[in-house]
Structure 1
């Protein structure tokens, strides 16, 4: 009886050690997946940040161009208002 109990306990210990090893492997796999996911996230964040900076730069250039065109229109309007048209 004592031999069977010892054998059963030994088998149970082996099963538990096997499960612990499987959990370790699973944990390593999950950690690699998490690390890969984090790396991809930061890559995306950096790419979006660069894209945002490029868009802001283009918007500033566009706003500057509109401002210059608006100034030219105001100057032309003022010149036209200063010229009196001959009446027929």
Structure 2
């Protein structure tokens, strides 16, 4: 760059302004991608939390069913052995 050459200085200023504009655009694109990624992460977290709750409900139901079936089996086994039935 030649000192005092107004044309060279003007071109250099234009180059730097173009780079600044490119950086602004790049920053906007990156921020958009980060925001999109965060949204997807929270959607997945919420979906997994809902699935966890659903599994807990199903697990409780299944445990209750097993408990009832075990009680029935114990009563039937007691009847087969001729033992008196326990009072509830």
Calculate the TM-score normalised by the size of structure 2: 0.84
| Deviations 1:31-80, CA, capped at 9 Å, x for gaps | 01110111011011101110111011101100110110001100111111
Q: Which has the higher helix share?
A: 1
Q: 1:35 is matched with which residue?
A: 35
Structure 1 stretches lacking a partner, 5+ long: 84-88
Q: Which has the higher contact order (CA 8 A, sep 6+)?
A: 2
Calculate the TM-score normalised by the size of structure 1: 0.84
**Structure 1 ranges of 4+ moved more than 4 A:** none
CA RMSD after TM alignment: 1.6
Distance across 2 between alignment mates of 1:67 and 1:8: 87
Structure 2 stretches lacking a partner, 5+ long: 84-88
Alignment length (residue pairs): 82
